[in-house]
Amino acid sequence: MRTPRFTLVIGSFVLAGCAVAADASMAPPVPASPTAALMSPSPAGAQLYFIAPQNGETVAPSFVVRFGLKGMGVAPAGADLSNTGHHHILIDHQGDPDLTLPLPVTDQVKHFGGGQTETELTLSPGTHTLRLVLGNHLHIPHNPPVMSETITVTVKAP
Ligand SMILES: [Cu+2]
């Protein structure tokens, strides 16, 4: 008479054990790099793009660049708010920057840590490439990175 009851208790234990194991498997993976824990997730479908200029456009030596962002918000550098970042523009940059580290400050990487959504660039005559990259509060690209396509503009002589 007592055996069936004992079996029921054991059964409950096994079920509870399974639930705990399932939760553990949902834990995030171990960071792959020292800065991985400092990266911010980007939501699915986030898009970064140029409102102006357009790819292939010919522009004056000084021209306005407008940054377009869908699915995320803009926040100043230092403000750790989910699903936000600030803009960076890569000018004549070869390949991707290191997407696991804070973006450097160079002539080819400009930061808009104030939360700006446009800027005026002055470039030498000829063709130049431009690309936008969103960075988190620490200037680290998101995971997955939110980057625009690379566009080419032709700067005419003054
Ligand atoms: Cu930055």
Distance 145 CA to ligand 1 centre (A): 14
Distance 100 CA to ligand 1 centre (A): 13
Distance 128 CA to ligand 1 centre (A): 21
Instruction: Check residue 13 and give its pLDDT.
Output: 39
Over residues 38-64, the pLDDT tens digits come to 999 999 999 999 999 999 999 999 999
What proportions of the chain, in percent to the nearest 5, are helix, strand and coil?
15, 35, 50
Q: Structural domains in the chain?
A: 41-155 (2.60.40.10)
Between 9 and 154, where is the model more confident? 154
Instruction: Check residue 28 and give its pLDDT.
Output: 56
Instruction: Check residue 37 and give its pLDDT.
Output: 87
Over residues 89-134, the pLDDT tens digits come to 999 999 999 999 999 999 999 999 999 999 999 999 999 999 999 9
Question: What would the DSSP string read from start to end of 40-64?
Answer: -B--TT-EEEEEES-TT-EE-SEEE
Instruction: Check residue 22 and give its pLDDT.
Output: 42
Distance 87 CA to ligand 1 centre (A): 7
Distance 141 CA to ligand 1 centre (A): 9
Distance 64 CA to ligand 1 centre (A): 19
